[in-house]
Copies of this chain bind each other. A is one copy, B any other.
Amino acid sequence: MSKHPRGGGFLLALLDQGFEQEKPLYLVNPNADEIQGLTCYPSLLDTPGPVDHVISSVPARAVEGLIEQSIEKGVRSIHFYTAGFAEIGDPELAALQDRLMARAVDAGIRVIGPNCMGLYVPREKIAFQNNFPPEPGNVMAISQSGGNAMDIVFGLALRGVRFSKLVSFGNASDVAAPELFDYAAEDPETEYVISYLEGADGGRALFEAVRRCARIKPTIILKGGLTSAGARAASSHTGSLAGSRDVFEAMCRQTGAIRAATMTELHDLLIGVSTNLRRVQGPRAMMVGGGGGFSVLAADAMANVGVDLPELAEQTTAELRRLMPVAGNSIRNPIDASHFHSGDAREDSLREVLRVAAHAPDIDALFVTTGSAPSWIDPPAPGQKPDPERERRRAERRLLAEKQSMQDLIDLQAEAERPVIGVRRARGVERWLTDEVLELAYAHGLAVFPSLPRAARTLGRLLEWRARREGLPELF
C-alpha cells in the first residue's frame, strides 16, 4: 500500500468502524497480504465467507473481471468508485459502461455508480469519509456528486443535522434518482429529503417519484447544470443531460418540492423545514438585537425577500418603552437592543424585551441576534501579552456565555407563539457559534443562521413554498 493511498478516506472509514460490524469486512488487493493488521485477499473469490456488498475502486480495465467474480460469488450489490466511463464523453466508453453494468444487473446485482462515492449509512456503520458523524439522523441525502454530498454532510453536521442515509450515485447506470426518491418517501427513518442532481434523464419517472416523495415529506433539490456552462460541466462530470431551468423549476412547482438555488441555500432550507421555522404562518417579522446599522441592513435584506417588519402595536411599543432607555436604542421594529449586551442587569432587561416580543400581536416570526459572547468577558489587561492558559479560560467562559445565550433563545422559543430565529451578528468571516452550541439549538428545533440575509431569505422561500403547496397534504 502506498504512503498516500487513493481512496484512503473511505478505506479508513470502513476500518475505523468495521470492527464493530456484525458482518465481516474483507479486504481484497492482489498486491498486499495485510493492510492495517487485516488480512488482504488476492481476489474476491478467495474471501472465506459470503459477500453481500462490494465496494470497488479497481481501475476501469479491472471492472469486467470484478463483475464476473461478483456473479460467481453471489454478490447482491456493487458500488463502483471507478471512473473513466460515460462521463469522459467518448461513445465507446459509454457503450462499455452500458455493457458491463447490464451484465451485472442482468445477473441480479444492483450497481451504484460507476464514478461515485456510494453509501453513507451511519446505522449500518458504512461511510465514505472517516470524519462523517457516526450517529444516525432523519435526513436522507440523494446526491449525484460525491464531493457535493460531502459538502452536504459537513455543512449540515456542523449545524446539528444528522443523516439516515446518503447515496452518491454518479453515472447512475442502475440505481438512479427516481428509485431513491421512492425509497426516501417510504423509509421510516427519513423525515426530510435533500438532493443534488445533475441529470434530468429520468424525465417522467423522476417527476413522478419526486411528486410521491414531496407530497408527504419536505423535499429540497439543488440542480446543477442549469446554465449552458454548467450543463457542459455536468456532462463531463457524470455524463448527464442537464435540462433547462424552466423545466426544473416547473417540476418543483408542480410536485411540491423546493428548488434550492445554491449549495448554501440547500443547507439553509433544510434547517428551515426541520426546525420550528417551518411553522411560520406569514411574512410579518419582528427583529430584536444587533445595533443600529445592522438593523438598517437587516430591514433592507428582509424587504428584498418579501419579509415585512411592520410597525408595532401601541401596546407593544408602550411595554418596550417601559423596559428600554430612550437614548441609543430604537424601540421601533427592528429593535436595536445592542446597548443591552453588557452587564447582568441589562441582560435581564433584554430577556424582558424578548418576552414582550414573543407575545406581540400580529407578528409571525421573531428574529433575534445571537452568538457574540459579550466582549467584557475577561479582557486582557492593558499592555499584557496573551497568555495561553488565560486564553483557554477565556474561551471556556465565552463558550459558557454562548451556551447560556442559546439556552435563553430555546426557552423563549418554548414560550413564544411564533418561530424564533437565531441570527449571527456577523463580525467578519470567521466568527460563528461552536458546533456544540449549534447542536444544542438544533436539538431543540431552534433555527439558527450565520447571517441575517440568509435567515430572511430562508423564511421568504419557505413562505413561497407553503403557498405553492395549496392542495397538497399539510406536512407540519
Interface, chain A (partner B; CB < 8 A): 2-6, 8-9, 12, 15-16, 19, 36, 59-60, 82-84, 87-88, 115, 129-130, 143-151, 154-159, 196, 198, 222, 224-230, 232-234, 236-238, 262-264, 290-304, 308-309, 326-328, 330, 332, 334, 336, 338-339, 342-344, 374-376, 379-383, 426-432, 435, 450-451, 453
Chain B residues, Cβ within 8 Å of A88? 326-327
A196 touches B293 (CB 8 A): yes
Q: Which residue of B lies closest to A330 (CB)?
A: B236
**In the bound complex, how far is the Cα of B59 from the Cα of A457, in angstroms?**
39
B300 touches A428 (CB 8 A): no
**In the bound complex, how far is the Cα of B324 from the Cα of A135, in angstroms?**
38
Measured between C-beta atoms, what is the minimum distance from A357 to chain B in Å? 16
Measured between C-beta atoms, what is the minimum distance from A61 to chain B in Å? 10
A158 touches B293 (CB 8 A): no
B262 touches A84 (CB 8 A): no
Q: How many copies of the shown chain assemble into the complex?
A: 2
Chain B residues, Cβ within 8 Å of A84? 326-328
A303 touches B150 (CB 8 A): no
Q: A3 is contacted by which of B145, B236, B304, B343 (Cβ under 8 Å)?
A: B343
B297 touches A328 (CB 8 A): no
With contacts A147-B294, A326-B88, A382-B16 taken as known, whether A300 is within 8 angstroms of B376 at the C-beta atoms is no
Most buried by B among A60, A83, A237, A238: A237
Q: A12 is contacted by which of B198, B301, B382, B426 (Cβ under 8 Å)?
A: B382
The 9 closest A-B pairs by CB, nearest first: A145-B293, A84-B327, A237-B292, A227-B303, A147-B291, A148-B293, A230-B300, A83-B328, A224-B296
B83 touches A327 (CB 8 A): yes
B343 touches A4 (CB 8 A): yes
Chain B residues, Cβ within 8 Å of A2? 343
Measured between C-beta atoms, what is the minimum distance from A270 to chain B in Å? 13
Chain B residues, Cβ within 8 Å of A308? 229
Chain B residues, Cβ within 8 Å of A238? 292
Measured between C-beta atoms, what is the minimum distance from A456 to chain B in Å? 11
**In the bound complex, how far is the Cα of B344 from the Cα of A149, in angstroms?**
26
B158 touches A382 (CB 8 A): no
**In the bound complex, how far is the Cα of B262 from the Cα of A296, in angstroms?**
11
A130 touches B293 (CB 8 A): no
> A12-B382, A229-B300 known; 13 other A-B pairs, CB under 8 Å?
A8-B379, A36-B381, A84-B327, A149-B293, A151-B293, A226-B300, A229-B299, A230-B303, A233-B332, A236-B292, A236-B295, A237-B292, A238-B292
